[in-house]
Chain A
Amino acid sequence: MEWEAVIGLEIHAQLATKSKIFSGASTAFGAEPNTQACAVDLALPGTLPVFNGEALRMAVLFGLAIDAEIGYTSVFDRKNYFYPDLPKGYQTSQLFHPIVGTGYVDITLDDGTIKRVGVTRAHLEEDAGKSLHEEFPNMTGIDLNRAGTPLLEIVSEPDMRSAEEAVAYVKKIHAIVTNLGICDGNMAEGSFRCDCNVSVRYKGEEEFGNRTESKNINSFRFIEKAIKGEIIRQIDILEDGGHITQETRLYDANKDETRPMRSKEEANDYRYFPCPDLLPIVIDDDYVNQVRATLPELPDARKARFIEQYKLSEYDAMVLSAYRDLSHYFETVANTADDAKLAANWVMGELSKLLNQNDTDIKDSPVSAEQLGGLLLRIKDNTITGKIAKQVFEAMWAGEGSADEVIESKGLKQVTDSGAIESMVDDVIAANQPQVDQYVNAEPDKRGKMIGFFMGKVMQASQGKANPGQVQGLLKQKLDALANG
């Protein structure tokens, strides 16, 4: 019998509001502990929440982007449990009436087929603070800066059957929330986190097996590894005649394994009830339509447009459409240079290489899209060769100026003076008599390949600046003249 995994995901996306969901404290990342936790965040006696309208707008925008039902009346509930980084002793969340109901996303599998993954719901809630266990010997330190940061919890249907599908789904949601501008998507800072529910069963069975939940995994790679590991662990247990315990597990990236969470061992009774400090959120068609009007183009639509408008390949279009900033950059380069194919090659090639090497976000690229477009124009008008362009690009990256400035200051302008090129060609022919002899004695249809040697020598002599077309033409003319005696 063959095993099959059943995977459902809960994604927590921090909404990119300036202030918290229920207080006026800042949500900026990385501040000194507890300097962004106000009286409301600390749950001082008597303090009360007031809901941030921007969090509502962002949640509705997400709902529209996944073609979901929108909750015209949604209600905040209290989820009661004690934990030191949960100041009120309850988390304000939405259980009974979430802001976003059922929707879906389509993911592309490795074999190119499209699979639809259902989204059960997405609801608003507040983040907890952070518990720091390593700072002190016998104590845990509590930092409440993150407490009250708005989260959109996106719950999928258990529709995925492999770690790869799960990752494709997570990437898709990541692309959507970042494209919408509602989440910065920074997984390392915890802005986008994932809990993975995994169970296994024999293929063809209807019933789900007991599942485990692996919490707070913060990279695409770890999600894949954690799920794969968990599937193997469960199959091993079941094949040994064991039983899967329904439990919450914590993924340890250092050991690449999950382990049960001590703090979640006891069965919880969260005693949900509607939060009496907050009133029902009621929105109407006007509100939804206003939000809908701001819906930006999403990756799927953009990919189709790129193929249509720019004649990109399926693969190039997929890569370049995934993220708003990347797409925008590409389009600016393509329009500036008036050459989409060249723009795609450079954005996916040289630019991506340097961004990766320097761990730089495309928003912070030292070479702007306009500047890169300007460089490509110089290739197209034969001012420089493609090879020199890479050199110019590196100089631009290093802050040495625009393409034209670098070309000028480094004297990289292509040599097109036919007199100068002819003398370099003559020099090379004179200096390489054995190769000239080989060329002359070769069958005419073999000569084409042999010309590359002389090309290399001339380009070397010109430090890459000679116009390759002119060089090639002259070489062929002169060598053929020798051969034909």
Chain B
Amino acid sequence: MLDKTLAELAQGLATGEFSSVELTQNYLDRISAEDGTLNSFITVTPEQALAQAEAADQRRAAGNVDVFTGLPIAHKDIFCTQGVRTSCGSKMLDNFISPYNATVVEHFNQAGAVSLGKTNMDEFAMGSSNESSFYGPARNPWNTDCVPGGSSGGSAAAIAGGLTPAATGSDTGGSIRQPAALCGITGLKPTYGRVSRYGMIAYASSLDQGGPMARTAEDTAMMLNVMAGFDPKDSTSLDQPVPDYTLKLNDSLKGLKIGLPKEFFSGEIDPQITAQVQNAIREFEALGATVKEVSLPNTHLAIPAYYIIAPAEASSNLSRFDGVRYGYRCEDPVDLEDMYKRSRGEGFGEEVKRRIMVGTYALSEGFYDAYYKKALQIRRLIQQDYVNALSEVDVIMGPTTPHPAFKLGEKNSDPISMYMEDIFTISLNLAGMPGISVPCGFANGLPVGLQLIGNYFAEERLLNAAHQFQQATDWHKQTPGQ
């Protein structure tokens, strides 16, 4: 039952093939057995999970059933969960038992979902390998010497390893799509504002977006049905109707216009990745889509702009971690300044400190125009690239990452080379549009991800295209050898 999709598990619960308690216990056992190696969870909550499963079974017995009733999932440890440690992968919040639930968590609770626990992540979502986690890196189930990607690496590894059928993630520069690609699962970054950010610990507010991760496009559609929606607690949440994302999954792709940005098929990219992506495009053509080349001429500026905007926002967002009201406080501070500097110096890891410093510098007196304002101007150029391209085509496609999963420690000492792994994902966060990564083959035995990008609020179309691709292929059904 552990290799089943959410949709299949929902069916099993509905037909009484198994109960939610049995299902949940199976996953908890699997976590106990496997997570010593994968390290995909920071916190497992067996008691709470079984209590939720019990309640779900009772709810089902009473005939009060939601699609999600009794289905187990896991939450990235960036989402606040009441009564459960919410660490954000940081020593700073190692002792933080959240007194409230994120809106996303609240939605899943109301739908009757069972939460298995909190998944591992790069500290404060800053990283592309999961190696910046205070709790040690999660590992890639396809090759445990390799990283699962990041920052939602724990969620991706747990799904690929069969430790949970689905999980929440967050994506600031590729943090859902890149680990999904590296672990051979499906991950969707929705339109900015589609999913509430309330209770999702902020890294870079104008880029962060929560989204679903699962085995299939159909499962991510089911997840997004629960996650999406207007939230009056989030000023950047958009008051737009939420469709049932599963309704158009089976629409034909005949006439779908696909754009291939030439910038996504040149430069530093593994030729095996290019080959697998091109095979996938041919599959779409076979499904009735047409393909043309498009251009996103400012792609090369996305990483520079991102590494100003994200650190600038982060430097301010992370100022609240000061040891006063919650979180880590250093031992025996001699005075206030000592308390601030040691609590933050000891509580944050290297990459987080590095980005806080970059952001602080970029915003400091005399540099604002040259860095921050400039980056916001570049951001508009990048957005206009997408708007222009998407006026010609329905969906943009390309590789999710330039390389498959790399070895643990391989890029750790060189932050810049790590940053470059996000070259194909990062620009989308700047533009705010949705993107999905689906498995489309292997390179050296490691999964390859195909990225589909659509216009604002085009999640339905992306999920439809991804689902049709998965009906025609079985890359998403591959599981790592035990």
- Per CB-CB distance, the 8 closest pairs between chain A and chain B, nearest first, are A89-B319, A276-B205, A271-B363, A276-B206, A46-B199, A43-B320, A45-B201, A46-B80
Total cross-chain contacts (CB, 8 A) = 104
The listed residue with most B CB atoms (<10 A of its CB), out of A46, A78, A276, is A46
Q: List chain B residues, Cβ under 8 A from A87.
A: 320, 324-325
Q: List chain B residues, Cβ under 8 A from A283.
A: none
Interface residues of A in 81-95 (CB under 8 A from B): 82, 84, 87-90
Cβ distance B240 to chain A, nearest Cβ, rounded Å = 15
Cβ of B64 < 8 Å from any Cβ of A? no
* Chain A proximity mask over B198-214: 1 for CB below 8 Å, otherwise 0: 11111011100000000
Q: List chain A residues, Cβ under 8 A from B326.
A: 42, 44-45
The listed residue with most A CB atoms (<10 A of its CB), out of B99, B232, B363, is B363
Cβ of A277 < 8 Å from any Cβ of B? yes
The binding surface of chain A is classed by DSSP as loop
Q: List chain B residues, Cβ under 8 A from A89.
A: 316, 318-320, 322
In contact, A80 and B324 (Cβ under 8 angstroms): no
Cβ of B18 < 8 Å from any Cβ of A? no
Cβ distance B193 to chain A, nearest Cβ, rounded Å = 10
In contact, B312 and A273 (Cβ under 8 angstroms): yes
Cβ of B233 < 8 Å from any Cβ of A? yes
Cβ of A109 < 8 Å from any Cβ of B? no
With A84-B322, A89-B322, A90-B316 given, can you name 17 additional A-B contacts, CB distance below 8 Å?
A42-B326, A44-B326, A45-B202, A45-B320, A46-B79, A46-B98, A46-B199, A48-B198, A48-B235, A50-B233, A87-B325, A89-B320, A272-B363, A276-B205, A276-B236, A276-B313, A277-B236
In contact, B316 and A48 (Cβ under 8 angstroms): no
Give the docked Cα–Cα distance between A273 and B206 (Å). Answer: 13
In contact, A279 and B96 (Cβ under 8 angstroms): no
Cβ distance B78 to chain A, nearest Cβ, rounded Å = 8
Cβ of B102 < 8 Å from any Cβ of A? yes
Q: List chain A residues, Cβ under 8 A from B327.
A: 45
In contact, B368 and A273 (Cβ under 8 angstroms): yes
Cβ distance B404 to chain A, nearest Cβ, rounded Å = 33
In contact, A88 and B96 (Cβ under 8 angstroms): no
Cβ of A39 < 8 Å from any Cβ of B? yes
The one of B86, B205, B325 in contact with A277, judged by C-beta atoms closer than 8 angstroms, is B205
Cβ distance A52 to chain B, nearest Cβ, rounded Å = 11
The listed residue with most B CB atoms (<10 A of its CB), out of A43, A48, A142, is A48
Q: List chain A residues, Cβ under 8 A from B313.
A: 276
Interface residues of B in 219-266 (CB under 8 A from A): 232-236
The listed residue with most B CB atoms (<10 A of its CB), out of A39, A47, A144, is A47
In contact, A45 and B233 (Cβ under 8 angstroms): no
Cβ distance B37 to chain A, nearest Cβ, rounded Å = 30
Cβ distance A53 to chain B, nearest Cβ, rounded Å = 12
* Chain A proximity mask over B58-83: 1 for CB below 8 Å, otherwise 0: 00000000000000000000011000
Interface residues of A in 36-85 (CB under 8 A from B): 39, 42-51, 78, 80, 82, 84
In contact, A48 and B233 (Cβ under 8 angstroms): yes
Given A44-B100, A47-B199, decide whether A84 and B360 contact each other with a Cβ distance below 8 A: no
Cβ distance B270 to chain A, nearest Cβ, rounded Å = 34
Q: List chain B residues, Cβ under 8 A from A50.
A: 232-235
Give the docked Cα–Cα distance between A27 and B86 (Å). Answer: 30
Cβ of A286 < 8 Å from any Cβ of B? no
Beta-carbon nearest neighbor of A88 in chain B: B320
Given A39-B99, A271-B360, A277-B235, decide whether A84 and B324 contact each other with a Cβ distance below 8 A: yes
The one of A45, A48, A51 in contact with B93, judged by C-beta atoms closer than 8 angstroms, is A45
Beta-carbon nearest neighbor of B86 in chain A: A45
Given A45-B201, A276-B205, A277-B205, decide whether A142 and B324 contact each other with a Cβ distance below 8 A: yes
Given A44-B99, A50-B235, A80-B319, decide whether A273 and B204 contact each other with a Cβ distance below 8 A: no
A→B interface (CB under 8 Å): 39, 42-51, 78, 80, 82, 84, 87-90, 140, 142, 144, 269, 271-273, 276-279
* Chain A proximity mask over B350-379: 1 for CB below 8 Å, otherwise 0: 000000000010011100100010000000
Give the docked Cα–Cα distance between A74 and B202 (Å). Answer: 24
Q: List chain B residues, Cβ under 8 A from A46.
A: 79-80, 86, 98, 102, 197-202
Cβ distance A131 to chain B, nearest Cβ, rounded Å = 10
Cβ distance A144 to chain B, nearest Cβ, rounded Å = 8
Given A80-B316, A80-B363, decide whether A45 and B322 contact each other with a Cβ distance below 8 A: no
Cβ of B88 < 8 Å from any Cβ of A? yes
| 15 A-B residue pairs with CB within 8 Å | A44-B99, A45-B201, A46-B197, A46-B198, A48-B234, A50-B232, A50-B233, A78-B316, A87-B325, A142-B324, A269-B365, A272-B363, A276-B204, A276-B236, A277-B202
Q: List chain B residues, Cβ under 8 A from A45.
A: 80, 86, 88, 93, 96, 98, 201-202, 320-321, 326-327
The one of B86, B100, B316, B320 in contact with A273, judged by C-beta atoms closer than 8 angstroms, is B316
Give the docked Cα–Cα distance between A43 and B312 (Å). Answer: 18
Cβ of B419 < 8 Å from any Cβ of A? no
Give the docked Cα–Cα distance between A269 and B364 (Å). Answer: 6
Q: List chain A residues, Cβ under 8 A from B372.
A: 273
Cβ distance A330 to chain B, nearest Cβ, rounded Å = 44
Q: List chain B residues, Cβ under 8 A from A44.
A: 80, 98-100, 325-326
Q: List chain B residues, Cβ under 8 A from A279.
A: 235-236
Cβ of B457 < 8 Å from any Cβ of A? no
In contact, A84 and B336 (Cβ under 8 angstroms): yes
Q: List chain B residues, Cβ under 8 A from A269.
A: 364-365
Give the docked Cα–Cα distance between A88 and B364 (Å). Answer: 18
Q: List chain B residues, Cβ under 8 A from A48.
A: 197-198, 202, 233-236
Q: List chain B residues, Cβ under 8 A from A271.
A: 315-316, 360, 363-365, 368
Cβ of B340 < 8 Å from any Cβ of A? yes
Beta-carbon nearest neighbor of B206 in chain A: A276
Interface residues of B in 273-316 (CB under 8 A from A): 312-313, 315-316
Give the docked Cα–Cα distance between A278 and B86 (Å). Answer: 24
Given A78-B316, A84-B336, A271-B316, decide whether A42 and B199 contact each other with a Cβ distance below 8 A: no
Give the docked Cα–Cα distance between A269 and B316 (Å). Answer: 13
Q: List chain A residues, Cβ under 8 A from B368.
A: 271-273
In contact, A90 and B99 (Cβ under 8 angstroms): no
Cβ distance A279 to chain B, nearest Cβ, rounded Å = 6
